[in-house]
């Protein structure tokens, strides 16, 4: 199935948009960006040049995904999420001229398979959000998030673990956890969570 591009969306001719993907009104996908198959790009989304989104991603209204972000398959990016790309932002240089592309080096946010970023969260590059992790709405992520971690707050800190269903895991004691939705078991070792059958 061909991609659907809303007439009021702007998709650069050098961008790639996969089959089955929908790009809704007022979204802007820049040159050399790559959006995978079966994605849903909501209203007013910005995807920067050279940014990569995998298959089956959902990017909600007004999210700003600045280059050079790398987003793997099955990622949820909530409404008004911001991925930054400049560690020392300035509009002008010390000598007063307008800052140009050659005056700074963009750094990106990486989001691993199946992770979710809640509404209005800000991810301050360079950071990596681990597989199946969940960033709570309104959080400000300033350091890497482990696989399956649930993080919240400003700055974001781990407050629990989540399974592949996105539901907080139940603590079974002695480093064992269980998903109340799927029944999957997990074990925590050395600050990392591992699915028991993986």
Catalytically annotated residues = 88
The residues near 50 (Cβ < 8 Å, ≥ 6 apart) are 30, 31, 32, 33, 67, 68
Is residue 18 within 8 Å of 1, Cβ to Cβ? no
Q: How far apart are CA 42 and CA 165, in angstroms?
A: 22
Is residue 178 within 8 Å of 171, Cβ to Cβ? no
- Which residue, 8, 53, 45, 7, is CA-closest to 29? 45
- Which residue, 18, 15, 55, is CA-closest to 33? 15
How many Cβ atoms are within 10 Å of 188's Cβ, its own excluded? 16
Is residue 83 within 8 Å of 42, Cβ to Cβ? no
Q: How far apart are CA 173 and CA 186, in angstroms?
A: 11
Peptide bond into 126 cis (omega under 30): yes
Q: How far apart are CA 162 and CA 70, in angstroms?
A: 22
């Amino acid at each position: 199935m061909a991609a659907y591009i809303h007439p009021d969306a702007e998709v650069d001719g050098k961008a790639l948009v996969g089959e089955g993907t929908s790009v809704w009104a007022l979204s802007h996908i820049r040159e050399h960006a790559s959006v995978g198959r079966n994605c849903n790009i909501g209203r007013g989304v910005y995807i920067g040049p050279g940014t990569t989104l995998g298959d089956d991603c959902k990017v909600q209204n007004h999210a700003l995904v600045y280059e050079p972000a790398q987003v793997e398959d099955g990622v949820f990016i909530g409404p008004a999420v911001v991925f930054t790309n400049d560690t020392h932002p300035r509009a002008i240089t010390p000598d007063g001229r307008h800052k140009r592309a050659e005056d700074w080096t963009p750094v990106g946010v990486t989001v691993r398979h199946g992770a979710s970023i809640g509404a209005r969260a800000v991810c301050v590059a360079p950071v990596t959000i681990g597989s199946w992790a969940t960033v709570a709405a309104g959080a400000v992520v300033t350091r890497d998030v482990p696989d399956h971690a649930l993080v919240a707050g400003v700055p974001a800190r781990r407050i629990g673990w989540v399974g592949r269903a996105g539901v907080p895991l139940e603590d079974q004691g002695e480093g064992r956890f269980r998903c109340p939705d799927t029944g999957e078991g997990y074990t925590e070792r050395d600050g990392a969570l591992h699915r028991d059958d993986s």
